[in-house]
Amino acid sequence: MTIALASLIAVAVVVFVISVRAKDLPQPEPVSPFEHLDERKASIYENLRDLQFEYRVGKLSDQDYQQTKLDLQKELAGVMAEIDRVKAEIAAGKIPVPSPELVKANVVKPSPYICPFCKAEFSQPLKFCGECGKPMKAAQA
Ligand SMILES: [Zn+2]
């Protein structure tokens, strides 16, 4: 009897954990305007690491190493500048949201659009708060 009860509870706990997980997973994170930039940044960092490694193990000549490193650093600077630009535009309210389809799909209409985390107000629906960067969709009234 006790064993049956215990295993029942165990099953219930497992089911509960799984259902909670499942509930957290289904909506894919809304696309952040920085996402592709962050990805590019990460891949440049990775390339730099690889480059350094190859140089250290002697696969690259000094010149190749310096040249490639310079290219990657230039690219990185470009990505950083782009991130700053996007941030500035978001702060200025110039970029409402990256993908119109996504916006239409989960239009929530809290009016005005207030960040549930930092209470910043926006005149248009944002995926992510322009102030604190957290997802805004929890702002559903
Ligand atoms: Zn916020």
Q: Per-residue pLDDT tens for 58-69? A: 999 999 999 999
pLDDT tens per residue across span 88-124: 888 888 766 555 555 555 544 445 688 888 988 888 8
Average pLDDT for 73-85: 94
Q: At what angle do helices 35-56 and 62-91 cross, to 10 degrees?
A: 160
Res 141: pLDDT: 44
Taking a C-beta distance cutoff of 8 angstroms, is the pair 125, 98 a contact? no
Please identify every residue whose CB atom is under 5 Å from ligand 1, which is an ion: 115, 117-118, 120, 129, 131-132
Measured in Å, residue 121 CA sits from the centre of ligand 1 at 8
Taking a C-beta distance cutoff of 8 angstroms, is the pair 95, 89 a contact? yes
Measured in Å, residue 71 CA sits from the centre of ligand 1 at 36
* % of the chain beyond a pLDDT of 70: 68
Taking a C-beta distance cutoff of 8 angstroms, is the pair 135, 127 a contact? yes
Measured in Å, residue 108 CA sits from the centre of ligand 1 at 16
Taking the model in full, what pTM does it have? 0.45
